[in-house]
Amino acid sequence: MKLTIQDAYDITQGLKGLLDKELPTSVAFSIQRNFKKIGEEVGNANEVRNKLAKKYKEFTDDDGYFTDDKKKSEYNKELNELMRQEIEVELNILKLSDLGDYIKPRTLGLIEKIIEEDE
């Protein structure tokens, strides 16, 4: 499945919301496997993100706010470039009906790329 790094971050957050839910064992296993697979890509992206933060650290104050608008713009451009990068990850598609009745709409929105609606 082709995803952007931003999609990977979103899916990771959505899966975190499902990890502690009482779900059928096969569904819980698929969620855990997806979380692990996509976590590897997010980890790689976090390494690049941390390097960017270090690169621009001298242009921020003690609270992490930019003190130079030009450098902030450069940082945002590089960060956006990272978030648009495409990756290929083999994820299990989850059936909406397998997720139970009490999934928050926000969680559904975050993982919609790996959800299949029942027919």
What residues contact residue 56 under an 8 Å CB cut-off, 6+ apart? 66, 71, 72, 74, 75
**pLDDT tens-place string over residues 20-39:** 888 899 999 999 999 999 99
Greatest CA separation for the chain: 54
State pTM to two decimals.
Answer: 0.87
The 3-state DSSP class for residue 60 equals strand
Confidence of residue 64 (pLDDT cuts 50, 70, 90): confident
Q: Which DSSP symbol is given to 31?
A: H
Give CA 98 to chain center in angstroms.
21
Q: At 70, which amino acid appears?
A: K
**pLDDT tens-place string over residues 103-112:** 889 999 999 9
Mean pLDDT taken over the chain: 93
What pLDDT shows up at residue 78?
Answer: 97
